[in-house]
Amino acid sequence: MGDTPDRSANAGTGGPRVTLGHSRSAGAALSVDVPVTPLDRTPDGVGSQDSDLGPGGTGLGGGGALPRRRAFGAERIFHGFTMAAGMTVLGIIVAIAIFLVAKAVPALDANTANFFTYEGWSPNETEPKFGIGALAFGTVLTSLLALLMAVPVALGIALYLSHYAPRRVGTALGFLVDLLAAVPSVVFGLWGRDYFYGPVRDVSAWLNTYFGWLPIFGGDGPFGRSVLLGSLVLAIMVLPIITSLSREVFLQTPTANEEAALALGATKWEMIRMAVLPYGRPGIIGATMLGLGRALGETIALAMTLGIVSKISFNLIENGGNTVAANIANAFGEANDIGRGALIASGLVLFSITLIVNMTARAIIYRRREFTETAA
Amino acid sequence: MAMRIEATNVTAYYGGFKAIENITLTVEPKTVTALIGPSGCGKSTFLRSINRMHEVLPGARVDGRLTIDGQDIYDRDVDVTAVRRMIGMVFQRPNPFPTMSIFENVVAGLRLNGVRKKSILEEAAERALRSANLWDEVKDRLDKPGAGLSGGQQQRLCIARTIAVEPQVVLMDEPCSALDPISTLAIEDLMFKLKDRYTIIIVTHNMQQAARVSDKTAFFSIERTGDPGRLIEYDDTQKIFSNPSEKKTEDYITGRFG
């Protein structure tokens, strides 16, 4: 006694015995007089050194009859907890959907104009007239413009941070970008409305003078509180999301792939095109879609910077533009019952737009799954 | 298609840490040279400094002189990408580009060189895959992802990718360490075949492999952890494995050390 247990002799003898019905564990016959070691513990606290059990010393590896599955324990509780959490999401979504539809239907019934084609928004009259067309158009237009401006810059910043910047510069700059994401949208709105408005108005006037022959820069003013201002502010707002997500993705590019490209004689830019960007593609798409999601739903900054004119127009620089969310923020205060129902209906449309965008993004990522899932 | 490599007093650093010191050796064209030695002795570092992949890591640098057919590859005016095109490399773990098909993987290097014509690419891909003994296995699924192949096939794909650009020298950094014995054998066979056209330098932990495939063997070692790796002995493989001049080499190959 007192010498260390012979591992090889003990190897096949299994683990702790839980059932007390057997006086000897099944594996005991194999084990040669093993001293009790600290390993000889059973999960339920029954010591294995009970005198009548004899020298059936076992390690954690097993021994004796197989213990019965626990009917109720931490596993089950955790399982139930996670399932409940998952179900909650479903419940919330269903509840919201029911609420929205229930509120929207009476307003849509009372609408005397075509909801999809009418360009104005006057649901509070005795003869309510409102249409989603201009709002949906404005929402999509400002968001797409914002992405058009933000994505290239964001990818540039992300690549610089992940692959070009010296570590210290990269960390500091990355921190600043994250800080930009923490600025509340109402602050962006104020800034856009009171400060950025000036330069944008001047640039718009210049664009109008020299490029006025292009419909998007046409019109005769006033300029400034326009789709251009709104989407510029929006671009600045979505920039940090797209930047930090793409930077994370770029940083995850396997070193092995980067080295493979370099060893083939790629320059840094060629390496990025060969290894980093293709690897990060699903991530870039995801980041862009998240940015688009934020842009589509952005409310207060656009309510403060756009001209709030419900009209379908591609003119970017003239005062005007409106989005679903900005319209809700602006019109909610003085809305009556029908007015609120109409706004909720517009919210449903916004929800569908976002849903379509997200599903499209998933479809794009899914189409390439064969090449991305094996990426390790 | 093969060139002589001469290293003179090559010393490599990772930041302040000196990984190898004063390595001097000459590798003859169209031979296989094995670099062996215990872990951390700087074999891979030396290998990576031959095609200037060492300096890719932050803070890493190389002193000394390394020439390929007399041209100093560390010369200030030398284009580093040209060096790497001339001296190809196969890595320890198979690393095909995960987003590319088998075909695109093989021709990736050619595309870098500006080859656009489909017929040339196809011809080169077939030639490289045949040289890498992979053609018959993949010819029907060239458009499938390279990462979908088995580990051994992936490594042969990487070899095909490396030799598709017809380099002068092929460096292999423990190319079989992640592979099963059959794939290992396939790659060793391949090395015999490639030897006719390329200078091959291989880092290996497997001494039987070194003895089987190489003409010359260089034994690297360190005194103790933290010391730079040094070249202990460099000679014909047969001599190293039968009658080494250095006691340390003998200890290592007979398993008494490392």
pLDDT at residue A28 above 70?
Answer: no
* Domain extent listing, chain B: 5-91+169-253
Q: What is the pLDDT of residues B165-220, one digit of tens each?
A: 989 899 999 998 888 888 888 889 888 888 888 899 999 988 889 999 999 999 99
Which chain B residues touch A280 with a CB distance below 8 Å? none
Chain A from 258 to 277: CB within 8 A of any B CB: 259-267, 270, 274-275
Which chain B residues touch A167 with a CB distance below 8 Å? 58
- Could you say which of 3.30.565.10, 3.40.50.1970, 1.10.10.10, 3.40.50.300 is the CATH number of the domain covering B5-91+169-253? 3.40.50.300
Q: What is the pLDDT of residues B85-139, one digit of tens each?
A: 999 999 998 999 988 999 999 999 999 888 889 999 999 999 999 888 899 999 9
Q: Which residue has the tokens 């401006």?
A: A149
Q: What is the pLDDT of residues A292-314, one digit of tens each?
A: 988 998 889 998 888 888 888 88
pLDDT computed for residue B225 by the predictor: 80
B99/A375 CB distance under 8 A: yes
What is the value of pTM for the model shown?
0.77
Nearest 5 degrees, angle CA A110-CA A116-CA A121? 60
Q: Does B175 touch chain A (CB under 8 A)?
A: no
Q: Does B43 touch chain A (CB under 8 A)?
A: no
* Alpha carbon distance B21, B222 (integer Å): 10
pLDDT at residue A199 above 60?
Answer: yes
A263/B108 CB distance under 8 A: no
Average pLDDT of A162-178?
A: 90
Tell me if B213 sits within 8 A of B201, measured CB to CB: no
Q: What is the pLDDT of residues A132-155, one digit of tens each?
A: 988 999 999 999 999 999 999 999
Tell me if A286 sits within 8 A of A245, measured CB to CB: yes
Q: Does B95 touch chain A (CB under 8 A)?
A: yes
Which chain A residues touch B161 with a CB distance below 8 Å? 260, 264
Of A254, A259, A372, the CB nearest to B53: A259
Q: What is the pLDDT of residues B5-18, one digit of tens each?
A: 999 999 999 988 99
- Could you say which of 3.50.50.60, 1.50.10.10, 1.25.40.20, 1.10.3720.10 is the CATH number of the domain covering A121-372? 1.10.3720.10
Q: Does B177 touch chain A (CB under 8 A)?
A: no
Q: Does A284 touch chain B (CB under 8 A)?
A: no
ipTM confidence: 0.90
* Alpha carbon distance A202, A186 (integer Å): 24
| Token reading at A47 | 């010591």
Which chain A residues touch B158 with a CB distance below 8 Å? 260
Q: Among A28-42, A107-121, A162-176, B233-247, which stretch is predicted with the lowest mean pLDDT?
A: A28-42
Q: Which residue, B87, B40, B99, B64, is CA-closest to B201? A: B87
Which chain A residues touch B113 with a CB distance below 8 Å? 265
A263/B145 CB distance under 8 A: no
